[in-house]
Homo-oligomer: A and B are copies of this chain.
Amino acid sequence: MKPIPFRDLDQRARRLAQDMIASVRYAVLSVYDTAQDYPHLSRIAVQADMDGVPVALLSEIATHTRLLNTTPRAALLIEAEPEAKGDAMAQARMTLQVIARRLPAEGPEHAARLARWLANSPKARAYAELADFHFWRLEPQGGLLNAGFGQNYLLQATDIKNPRP
């Protein structure tokens, strides 16, 4: 049986992918757990960085963070409207292949990122400045966009970065 066909990426699909990242607050992270020999899944807090690259705010004590420290090749599932009622399979969603990199928790770039994060998620103030929390850049290497039934697109890293300010 032939595999699922992919459509050519057009401006509408590229814009959808960029908009989904621009508005993301939570996503599902998968990191391979080499000790257990299974993928590990968790829900994490994610926002778009200034250039449209997903950034996560992660605690050092969490299982997924310990796994990322040794296995930075991971994946992220972003869904357009995770809280919408109705058929989850009809909603736009995309899986991104990412390489995770922990960012330093100091300096003006960190301060600007933290301020943006808290403006979008005021409740994160309760933990965002604790010593065990760090921002992680999740640099997209490629991905798949499912924009609804039968609408599948391959994404390149350059399709995902957002050129808009």
Number of copies: 2
The listed residue (B40, B88, B89, B144) touching A95 by CB distance below 8 A is B40
A1–chain B nearest beta-carbon distance, Å: 5
A5–chain B nearest beta-carbon distance, Å: 9
Q: How far is the CA of A12 from the CA of B162 in the complex (A)?
A: 45
Interface string of A1-32 (1 = CB under 8 A from B): 11110000000000000000000011010111
Interface string of A68-112 (1 = CB under 8 A from B): 000001111101001111011101010101000000000000000
Q: A36-B97, A144-B63 are in contact. Are A28 and B41 (CB under 8 A)?
A: yes
Q: Which residues of B contact A123 (CB under 8 A)?
A: 87
Contact A43 B85 (CB under 8 A): no
Q: How far is the CA of A40 from the CA of B152 in the complex (A)?
A: 14
Q: Which residues of B contact A39 (CB under 8 A)?
A: 30-32, 39, 74-75
A76–chain B nearest beta-carbon distance, Å: 7
Q: Which residues of B contact A25 (CB under 8 A)?
A: 88
Q: Give how many A residues have a beta carbon under 8 Å from the other chain's beta carbons.
A: 48
Contact A61 B1 (CB under 8 A): yes
Residues of A participating in the B interface, judged by any CB pair closer than 8 Å: 1-4, 25-26, 28, 30-32, 36-43, 45, 59-63, 66, 73-77, 79, 82-85, 87-89, 91, 93, 95, 97, 123, 132, 141-142, 144, 146
In the complex, residue of chain B having the shortest beta-carbon distance to the beta carbon of A123: B87
Q: A4-B63, A63-B144, A144-B63 are in contact. Are A41 and B95 (CB under 8 A)?
A: yes
Contact A73 B43 (CB under 8 A): no
